[in-house]
Structure 1
Amino acid sequence: MEVIKMELMKADVTVVGGGIAGICAAIAAARQGLQVSLINDRPVLGGNASSEVRVHINGSAYLGNSPSYYAREGGLVEELKLKIFHYNPLYNKKLMLSLSDMVLLDMVYDEPNISLFLNTCVHETGMENGRIKWVEGLQLASERKFRFESPTYIDCSGDGIVGYQAGAHFRWGREAKHEYKEELAPEVADHYTMGDTILFQARDVNYSVPYKRPGFAYDITKLEFFDSIRKGLNHRSFPRKINGLGGLWWLEYGGHMDIIKNNEDIALELRKLVYGIWDYIKNSGEFDDVDNLILDYVCPIPGKRESRRFIGEHMLSQNDLTAKPHFEDAVSVGGWYMDLHANKGIYDEGPATAWNFVPGLYNIPFRSLFSRNIPNLMFAGRNISATHVAFGSTRVMATCGCMGQAVGTAAALCVKYETDPADIVKAHMDELQTQLLRDGQTIVGLQEQLDPYFADGLTMRASSQRSYEHLHPTEEISLEKALCLVLPIQTSVAESVQIKIKNRSEHSETLQVKLFGGERKENYIPASELKDYHLLISAGHDDWITLDLGCKKPADDKIYIVLEGPASLAVHGNEEKLSGAVSFHYRPEVPSRLKKLNKSICFKDLLPSQNMYNPQNVVNGFSRPYGLPNGWISERSEGQEWLEFVFASPKNLDEIHLVFNSQLNLEHFDDPIEPLIQDYDVTLTLEDGTESEINIRGNYLSLNKHQVHAKGVTRIRFDFSATYGSPYYEVFAVKFFAPKNAK
């Protein structure tokens, strides 16, 4: 009998887990020059985002409802999302998900430094002197056995298989309220986690198809909690949404059990429920228009929410998410609500989850991403060092991917300095954060400094510059519900602004104007009232009026103008977006929770005048709105526009990065990303007068990197010729990088 031989795989870093966190960790490390072993126990990449499980890649933008507004993550998660949308615009409808698998595979296969091991289950971890020495994996289908060795290991396996086998300290269940002073925690600690869900998908085949419930499935009408299911299905409206349905996220089970040990029992219970519910939908007579529907897909494995959470040097808690203390070692962001599901899932009484408010983006410290007792172990994903309450926010996949990018980048520094993650915090955080920002990672409040080598004597010009006003009103927006217009302010005071308002009644009406200031630059939250007054709008009035502002610039650089009045009053607006200036429904009972308007209130003649979209902004160190819009915008144009940079003396240039507007207020895309720049040319002029040119057509990414390796550059010109629909060209940042030996 032939014995399976062990194959030794050596790398600079071993990443276990091919979900979004593991993919981002592996790619980040590979792009820093590391040799990476990426191990995944499934045949496809993506974890819960794969075509097997079919969960959306949600994150800090909170489905487009974040009070930080421009909240979608940058970096590798942004790249991944934009690539999925480019190749699979039907992704958000949960169709053609195999194309999403293809995008993830393509991103990994495109990195020559990554060795990918699919269908490989890690079953043993070897230790030496308290450090991980190796992990072993079995690839069942090929009957191959591997031993993976590297100085650093990253556990992105979700359940934390490597950390568990290595003896890393971990938490399970819910912490007691007193442990971290969390209001949302229970009085007494327990073993409850969030449960699993099996999603499913339906399809209309245009002819009648019968359905017979399998013998193992439940007759759900006989279950004690049938009324809860019946209510959740929302009978008559449900079939109108069911074609292409991605399942019922609230169909959850297992949080009161050992979610790992009882995995197969939990999966069977969920299958009994899924097939039983479909029987009820098809055969109960309670639903309209279901005859032509088939159960097109049932996920073969449950989507798991929670199990082990490892303990790092910092345990992220509820107060870190709400009070947002400053972390010197901040490396990524989160922003999803603290979404805490019912302990027993569908078997629990009451709501399926509690959506606990998070006031916008928060930073995640690097100390929460490595083990406190296994020195060469990092982790990213749902197994990070966070309490159960904080985990309710950090567990979503886009947030996990950003943490993956952070640890993958940190792994490169561990190799560079032959050290462990804890020492990176002590000695190399500036270098880690600088590299993360360079690669597009979002870290709240951190600013990239323009290299003095390029800044000294640099001059910038643009073909045009958009005025800070929002004209071209196309529709009336009633004040039946209060509205808020948010205007970023550069100057130390704001005096007045004009809006266009219409009184549709036959008598005078009163417009109430309230002015607020904010506290945090990343947020759009009216916090402190500055002024409150009334204006009488005459009958039939339909013109511009001047609003008195008369206030100092608030701490967050934004003035919040709240407009209240009867339904007969309406302000003029349109559907165009102006970066920085945001309009939304104002709800005085919950002013911190934005209710999107999806329209923009028109304004003009803001005094003092603001030089808001100056080309100088693209080198101010911010790559997205933060207080101010932080970008250049051209005038309305049907042709080409340009940006030009001239150096006082010739420069050696290694790399150029450009950051475009990809609608960071959205979580997902169903339509073209209109302001994204599609076609442009880069022209380098050298000191001898010669020129070299880069031509880009069909760009679909927000961060564009160009390796130029040019010596003696005196001028750089960017000619922009097409967007995906916007009449304006918009650039958030332009970054220049010199060769290491250039200075």
Structure 2
Amino acid sequence: MEIIKSDVTVVGGGIAGVCAAIAAARHGLQVSLINDRPVLGGNASSEVRVHINGSAYLGNSPSYYAREGGLVDELKLKIFHYNPLYNKKLMFSISDMALLDMVYGEPNISLFLNTCVHETGIENGRIKWVDGLQLASERKFRFESPTYIDCSGDGVVGYQAGALFRWGREAKHEFNEDLAPEVADHYTMGDTILFQARDVGYPVPFKRPEFAYDITKLSFFESIIKGLNHRAIPRKINGLGGLWWLEYGGHMDIIKNNEDIALELRKLVYGIWDYIKNSGQFDDVDQLILDYVCPIPGKRESRRFVGDYMLSQNDLTTKPHFEDAVSVGGWYMDLHAAKGIYDDGPATAWNFVPGLYNIPFRSLYSCNIPNLMFAGRNISATHVAFGSTRVMATCGCMGQAVGTAASLCFKYGVDPAAIGEEYIGELQTLLLRDGQTIVGLKEELIPYFANGLSVRASSQRSFVNEHSTEAIPLEKGLCLVLPIQTDSDESVRIKVKNDSERLETLRVKLFGGDRKENYIPVDELSGYSVDILAGYDDWITLDLGCKKPADDKIYIVLEGSANLAVYGNEEKITGAVSFHYRPEEPSKLKKFNKSICFKDLLPAHNMYDPMNVINGYSRPYGLPNGWISERTEGHEWLEFTFAEPKNLEEIHLVFNSQLDLEHFDDPIEPLIKDYAVMLFFGDGTEREIKVSGNYLTLNKHKVNAKGVDRIRFDFIATYGSPYFEVFAVKLFAPNGIEVKR
């Protein structure tokens, strides 16, 4: 038995566990990271092949700028950096590589792959050690640390330690959840095995193996060939990465019956492929092969631990304020059918979540095992809330939160509950510093830097979008959302076109919203009609005449006919969002991927003031919260000047990496690629830091400089945008200088 001592032990190498380990390591802890598989990533690995989805909800979140920050964002951008063409057949091996690169890049992490935790030791109600077995090397390990983080999915450490947990669906009355069943049961969501189809360029036959099903004889066959209940085989098979609804096992003990469930799924996968290849119902399949079948199923749900707070459906929909908020979610409450493919009902129910919500720290540690934290699909949440929190980007953010919390446990010699009670402000400060998204929290620039600071820029973008490229018919309503700085707004101009030979009526409705993170029209403020003359093709003035809504945005809904059009382009202007207006479901954002042109917003707005970069927000929240240069083909700059010389430990820059996107298929055009940081000292000397080929949102620079008079940021190139955009510049002082929030 080899004894491995560390400051924290993290069990589980999925996205949650990796983020927990990296966060702890970057805050100075010695970390043991244990994974029972040969690769990292869990369900996102090349073994299981599920995409890392999260709060952006595939780019359809009503919070719009909703992709998570922090380590999850770093990981997604690193994957894209290694594979910018986003070839999906290669993506998951690239994901494996990116995760290994991040973990191996942390000298404080000791990684133990292919190591199964099989026993947990308890002393005085606390976890004392966990034992792991690495079969291939025939080595046994005992991991000892003051704090343990269970990111194993099934909660193996917590279960062995006796941590309280839930299994199955809670009854409706217990948490007042209208999506829960009337009576509690033991149903969970099932497992799925994914597969990959590939065209090899010549005919390849397929013979169904003896163990596989003839699916034409199964109960669900008629349903899937008719495409009912969200279950349909797509017509385009080449490149098909599996069928998420090919699910099984939620009505069983998902852990105890793991191997039986895996066998059933293999029978189904090979049976489905036999039908695709040999039924004659699909075109262009002769040259396709079943290139890859995942060796293990992707598991959705099993144990959920009980913390000091259990997140429920109403926390996701009404979004109460949590003093101990540490991360975000935003995926729909995606509740799968318990019997999977054999269930008579829909494969899943997509239950709406109104944008980003916060997750409290109290849901991330055990209520009865004092030195146990957890992150991932095993957190303290009801089955209904879990339908949203279970996706991997959300799990990764929770991992970053508990990994960072572990550093404070070590620093103060306390258990996680004490962090939530005594040090939650410090935890939130560290998380924000590292790019974590927490709705509504801001980072104040400390007085040491703020007093006497001036910020100026080479140029500043005007709050207009006036260069139109196409006329967009208004037979379906469109909505232009404009952030508002002033107490009230008077008017704005848009460009319209009447293609008909008669007068057309433009119907205008004005709405306000109630939450700054969201782009949801809630309260109708006014409405009127504008007559557009036959053949008219020019700008018109829209009266606004409203006070600034609670969410700092005005929603201008435009409705007309196929003969009436509004002008737009494909240029994105941060903060000003255009989307399809759906009066039957106004809260469900339907992206438009074009921008409605506007100009002359009155009163005039100084929307992209360089001072925005120190306002404490690192992304749009009501207002855009950033500096944008004027359109340029050359260099642009920001400059900070202090009233007196400052000692400076670190500088962070936060760029625009298109937070409205979940995944990337093309270059992230507004991301700043090449830049330089110039430090000017009181003695007349200078220091330059050059960066070339940046691909991250958050860029950190350790400078350890004394007597800085001025900082100049020279921006040289983006990945295609003619504008330079900076959301935040963060300045950090050496230890000993007052830094309280």
Q: TM-score range by the shorter chain?
A: over 0.9
Aligned residue number for residue 43 of structure 1: 38
- Counterpart CA distance in 2 for 1:375 and 1:478 is 61
- Counterpart CA distance in 2 for 1:272 and 1:90 is 34
Aligned residue number for residue 527 of structure 1: 522
- Retained in 2: the 8 A contact 1:370–1:379? yes
Q: Does 1:107 align with 2:102?
A: yes
Aligned residue number for residue 136 of structure 2: 141
Q: Does 1:153 align with 2:153?
A: no
The counterpart of 1:708, out of the listed 681, 687, 703, is 703
Matches within 5 A, 1:268-667: 268-667=263-662
- Counterpart CA distance in 2 for 1:736 and 1:243 is 50
| Cα deviations by residue, 1:543-565 (Å, 9 ceiling, x for unpaired) | 00000000000000000000000
Q: Does 1:216 align with 2:211?
A: yes
Shift of 1:742: 4.4
| Cα deviations by residue, 1:300-351 (Å, 9 ceiling, x for unpaired) | 0000000000000000000000000000000000000000000100000121
| Cα deviations by residue, 1:152-181 (Å, 9 ceiling, x for unpaired) | 000000000000000000000000000000
**TM norm structure 2:** 0.99
Q: Does 1:27 align with 2:3?
A: no
- Retained in 2: the 8 A contact 1:23–1:108? yes
- Retained in 1: the 8 A contact 2:651–2:730? yes
Matches within 5 A, 1:82-121: 82-91=77-86, 93-121=88-116
Matches within 5 A, 1:255-266: 255-266=250-261
- Counterpart CA distance in 2 for 1:273 and 1:613 is 55
Q: Does 1:7 align with 2:2?
A: yes
- Counterpart CA distance in 1 for 2:625 and 2:424 is 25
- Counterpart CA distance in 2 for 1:468 and 1:385 is 44
Shift of 1:94: 4.1
- Counterpart CA distance in 1 for 2:110 and 2:156 is 20
- Is the alpha carbon distance of 1:49 and 1:657 closer, same or farther for their aligned partners in structure 2, counting shifts above 3 Å? same
- Counterpart CA distance in 1 for 2:368 and 2:38 is 32
Letter in 1 for 2:68: E
- Retained in 2: the 8 A contact 1:54–1:94? no
Letter in 2 for 1:622: Y
- Counterpart CA distance in 1 for 2:114 and 2:379 is 24
The counterpart of 1:190, out of the listed 178, 185, 188, is 185
- Counterpart CA distance in 2 for 1:691 and 1:503 is 59
Shift of 1:229: 2.7
Shift of 1:242: 2.0
Aligned residue number for residue 54 of structure 2: 59
| Cα deviations by residue, 1:76-131 (Å, 9 ceiling, x for unpaired) | 00000000011023446243421221110010000000000000000000000000
- Retained in 2: the 8 A contact 1:68–1:523? yes
- Counterpart CA distance in 2 for 1:234 and 1:337 is 18
- Retained in 1: the 8 A contact 2:229–2:347? no
> What SS does the aligned partner of 1:617 have?
helix
**TM norm structure 1:** 0.98
- Retained in 1: the 8 A contact 2:84–2:667? no
> What SS does the aligned partner of 1:141 have?
helix
> What SS does the aligned partner of 2:137 have?
coil
Between 221-230 and 586-595, report the one with greater CA deviation: 221-230
Shift of 1:244: 1.8
- Retained in 1: the 8 A contact 2:332–2:350? yes
- Counterpart CA distance in 2 for 1:119 and 1:480 is 58
- Retained in 1: the 8 A contact 2:150–2:375? yes
- Retained in 2: the 8 A contact 1:95–1:244? no
- Counterpart CA distance in 1 for 2:649 and 2:694 is 21
- Is the alpha carbon distance of 1:393 and 1:239 closer, same or farther for their aligned partners in structure 2, counting shifts above 3 Å? closer
Aligned residue number for residue 3 of structure 1: none
- Retained in 1: the 8 A contact 2:676–2:691? yes
- Counterpart CA distance in 2 for 1:699 and 1:434 is 25
- Counterpart CA distance in 1 for 2:477 and 2:228 is 33
- Retained in 2: the 8 A contact 1:239–1:290? no
> What SS does the aligned partner of 1:650 have?
strand
| Cα deviations by residue, 1:418-443 (Å, 9 ceiling, x for unpaired) | 00010011110000000000000000
> What SS does the aligned partner of 1:159 have?
coil
Q: Identity over the aligned pairs, expressed in percent?
A: 83
> What SS does the aligned partner of 1:286 have?
coil
- Counterpart CA distance in 1 for 2:413 and 2:137 is 35
- Counterpart CA distance in 2 for 1:606 and 1:273 is 59
The counterpart of 1:78, out of the listed 59, 70, 73, is 73
The counterpart of 2:238, out of the listed 239, 243, 268, is 243
- Counterpart CA distance in 1 for 2:234 and 2:507 is 44
- Retained in 1: the 8 A contact 2:10–2:151? yes
- Is the alpha carbon distance of 1:96 and 1:534 closer, same or farther for their aligned partners in structure 2, counting shifts above 3 Å? closer
> What SS does the aligned partner of 2:299 have?
coil
- Is the alpha carbon distance of 1:92 and 1:356 closer, same or farther for their aligned partners in structure 2, counting shifts above 3 Å? farther
Shift of 1:241: 2.9
Letter in 1 for 2:578: S
Letter in 2 for 1:40: N
> What SS does the aligned partner of 1:531 have?
strand
> What SS does the aligned partner of 1:157 have?
coil
- Counterpart CA distance in 1 for 2:85 and 2:640 is 40
Structure 2's unaligned 5+ residue stretches are: none
- Retained in 2: the 8 A contact 1:91–1:100? no
Shift of 1:240: 5.2
Shift of 1:691: 0.3
- Retained in 1: the 8 A contact 2:671–2:718? yes
Between 65-74 and 89-98, report the one with greater CA deviation: 89-98
Q: In the comparison of the two structures, how many residue pairs are matched?
A: 737
- Retained in 2: the 8 A contact 1:652–1:742? no
> What SS does the aligned partner of 1:559 have?
strand
Letter in 1 for 2:538: D
Letter in 2 for 1:101: D
Letter in 2 for 1:635: E
Give the root-mean-square deviation of aligned CA atoms: 1.2
| Cα deviations by residue, 1:207-250 (Å, 9 ceiling, x for unpaired) | 00000000000000111111123234999x96653222110000
**Deviation beyond 6 Å, 4+ runs, structure 1:** none
| Cα deviations by residue, 1:265-311 (Å, 9 ceiling, x for unpaired) | 00000000000000000001111110000000000000000000000
- Counterpart CA distance in 1 for 2:58 and 2:94 is 22
> What SS does the aligned partner of 1:494 have?
strand
Letter in 2 for 1:519: D
Letter in 1 for 2:335: L
